[in-house]
Structure 1
Amino acid sequence: MILESLKPETALKVKKYGYFIYLLPLLLPVSAWYGGTHTQGLNTLFALLPMLVVFVIVPIVDLLLGKDPVNPDEDEVPEMSEHGFYRWLTLSCLPLYFLCIFSAGYFMLNWPGLSVLDQVLYTMSVGVVGGIIAINVGHELIHKNTKLEQISGGLLLSLVSYAGFKVEHVYGHHVHVSTPEDASSSRYNQSLYDFLPKAYYHNFKNAWKIQKQRMERKGQRFLGIKNELIWYYLHTVLVAGLMGVFFEVLGASFWIGVGFFFLQSFIAFTELEVINYIEHYGLHRRKMSTGKYERVTPEHSWNSNYFLTNMFLFQLQRHSDHHAFAARRYQVLRHHENSPQLPFGYATMFTLAWFPPLWKAVMNPRVKAYYRDEEGVLSSS
């Protein structure tokens, strides 16, 4: 494809500045409002604009551009890892997403002729942006060891009401990934509709359970000021209340503002859990004679290397490398050809996942082929 013809050093430079595409999702809510208010009778279409861009246009451009042609040279990794440019891109997402949700609320209330259904669709579109910016970037930041990044990651997650992910993902999912103990690892033949409610419930519950255990080991009170989950969930409540007041000042109901905040949150964290479903579907870690599971390797996550979606998601699709080396920064994540490969980028796979017969027709043969030398290892949920 187009990018595969580039020299490696040119491709790396294109990637460096290509990450600025993260601004596009943030601009989609205002673009939708502008388009809807300057056309006649197309409100529903423009309310859906962010979703159409993410789930229709991006997959098409992915196929046209092709796959990411380069891995970083390991000699350059230390310097790239410390480069402040990459760090500040992710840190900027916290104020930008805060501005995005409040401006989106303003646009919705100042969009003439927008029906209640269109308002719901527009709020869902904002939630899709939240999945890309708040959840995905929050995920990148909570894996880093600086206090600024850790707190920024937690605050981003709290803007979509999913602060527990900060604890459960790092100390739960990354420990138990691709085992029956992990609620975020989907089983072979498990449908998305079976997976989602379990993921919502167990991940919320596990976050508090893990946090309690962590605090007990430190000799700290669970219901004390050092419990970070309490602070992050209080931040969620505070922002929801601010949104309600904001809507009230603009002449709408306080509760419509609160509803707007929590609906965009629900869409954002649902987007996360669908991606979790995709990333580990049918994969497993083998149990050793000691009773413990084998070490996490690139074999335990589905990989996708389509260029455009990699830029959108700060290389989340190079998920195999992320799980094998969780502390690696997004700019130096590598593609592993020997890891299980998704046939398309995340946006396409996200759409497929909602149609279980189609999903299984595409993915089950790939899981079976990957474990072709291990008869009987696959089991349904």
Structure 2
Amino acid sequence: MSTTQLSVNREATRRRILLTLKKYSYLIAMVPLLLPPLLLAAGQATDLVNLFSWGVPVVVFGIIPVLDMLLGKDSLNPDEETDVPRMVGERFYKAITLGWVAGFAALLVWSMLELASGTFSLVGSIGWIVSIGIVGGLGINVAHELIHKDEKLETRAGGFLLSLVCYAGFKVEHLRGHHVHVSTPEDASSSRYNQSLYNFLPQAYMRNFLNAWKLEAERLQRKGHKALSWRNELIWWYSISALALAGFTIAFGWLGAVFFLGQSFIAFTLLEIVNYLEHYGLHRRKLENGRYERTGPEHSWNSN
């Protein structure tokens, strides 16, 4: 065997080992679910529970960005032709995303029990709700991946996760609206140049909600069905949100309602803040035929 061939084989073996290690590094995705109990334990151990109740935003917006900067860019990516098809069929990755959905549902119940137990002061309670909401906001990223899948189990799991933060319309509007109209005035989640965040957010909430119902009604109409029927998936998803709200309210009173709605508001607000930053001031040119130019990397600030 030639020296060149040995070098190629050695590099292939090295790359395979690194990809295997990277595979298990995706378990880091579960860390947000562990942050609240770990921070609560730290707060109880130091008698600083109300301070540590605000720990999630400190970790997510402070510690993690610093670590990301120190670790640098990861240039090891799976090969689209050889690695990705194999990875798609692996249950390991599916277990992470589906496990996240179950984990967040459990986290909501546990977090509410802690809140209802009188563990926190008023300021600590607010911090706790904000912290759980940020975890939910990160969970929308998981839901985003799930609703892009083909299998019904995964897309429904994504819808369920979105229902737990009262933003199920994202499942419809993102796929059928945002992907079509991104970086145009028609897109509810694309901010315009000189538009403030405070002006953008209320519009994004309302337009995303209304667009989702409009798009679902159009889908059903094309199939000859009425918009207000059992076939309307938004009715099912928002029913889950309503049932969850009712369950928390019945079990914990007004505090349960405040907790569920509060964490939901923080979660979907975090999503829309990200949308505001991703597409701020970017727009696609309108062509002579009335259509917009094809979407490209230049239409999103986070494109690599």
Superposed pair shares fold, TM > 0.5:
yes
Larger Cα-atom Rg? 2
The answer to whether the 8 Å contact 1:8/1:69 transfers is no
Amino acid at match of 1:240: L
Instruction: Please state how far the C-alpha of 1:87 moved relative to its aligned partner.
Output: 1.7
2:70 is matched with which residue? Answer: 64
The 1:15–1:277 alpha-carbon spacing in structure 2 relative to 1, beyond 3 Å, is: farther
Instruction: Please state how far the C-alpha of 1:286 moved relative to its aligned partner.
Output: 1.9
1:84 is matched with which residue? Answer: 91
2:51 is matched with which residue? Answer: 45
Equivalent residue in structure 1 for 2:167, among 152, 162, 168: 162
After TM superposition, where is structure 1 displaced by more than 6 Å over at least 4 residues in a row? none
The alignment status of 1:260 with 2:259, answered yes or no, reads: yes
Alignment partners' CA distance in 2, 1:183 and 1:68: 32
Amino acid at match of 2:64: V
Instruction: Please state how far the C-alpha of 1:216 moved relative to its aligned partner.
Output: 0.5
2:40 is matched with which residue? Answer: 33
What are the Cα deviations for residues 86-142 of structure 1, in whole angstroms up to 9, with x where unaligned? 122111111111000111111223354x21121011111000000112x11111111
1:117 is matched with which residue? Answer: 123
The answer to whether the 8 Å contact 1:33/1:111 transfers is no
Alignment partners' CA distance in 1, 2:43 and 2:113: 14
TM-score (norm 2): 0.91
The alignment status of 1:12 with 2:11, answered yes or no, reads: no
Identity of aligned residues (%): 52
2:7 is matched with which residue? Answer: none
Alignment partners' CA distance in 1, 2:102 and 2:261: 19
The alignment status of 1:213 with 2:218, answered yes or no, reads: yes
TM-score (norm 1): 0.73
Instruction: Please state how far the C-alpha of 1:27 moved relative to its aligned partner.
Output: 1.1
Instruction: Please state how far the C-alpha of 1:11 moved relative to its aligned partner.
Output: 4.4
The answer to whether the 8 Å contact 2:53/2:128 transfers is yes
What are the Cα deviations for residues 284-331 of structure 1, in whole angstroms up to 9, with x where unaligned? 22222212111222222222xxxxxxxxxxxxxxxx4xxxxxxxxxxx
User: Equivalences for 1:118-197 in 2 at 5 Å?
Assistant: 118-133=124-139, 135-197=140-202
Instruction: Please state how far the C-alpha of 1:39 moved relative to its aligned partner.
Output: 2.1
2:61 is matched with which residue? Answer: 55
Instruction: Please state how far the C-alpha of 1:9 moved relative to its aligned partner.
Output: 4.2
Q: Which has the higher helix share?
A: 2
Determine helix, strand or coil for the equivalent of 1:221. coil
RMSD of Structure 2 on Structure 1 (CA): 1.5
Show structure 1 runs of 5+ residues with no match: 1-6, 248-253, 304-319, 321-335, 337-381
Instruction: Please state how far the C-alpha of 1:67 moved relative to its aligned partner.
Output: 1.1
Q: How many residues align?
A: 290
2:113 is matched with which residue? Answer: 106
Show structure 2 runs of 5+ residues with no match: 1-13
The answer to whether the 8 Å contact 1:33/1:107 transfers is no
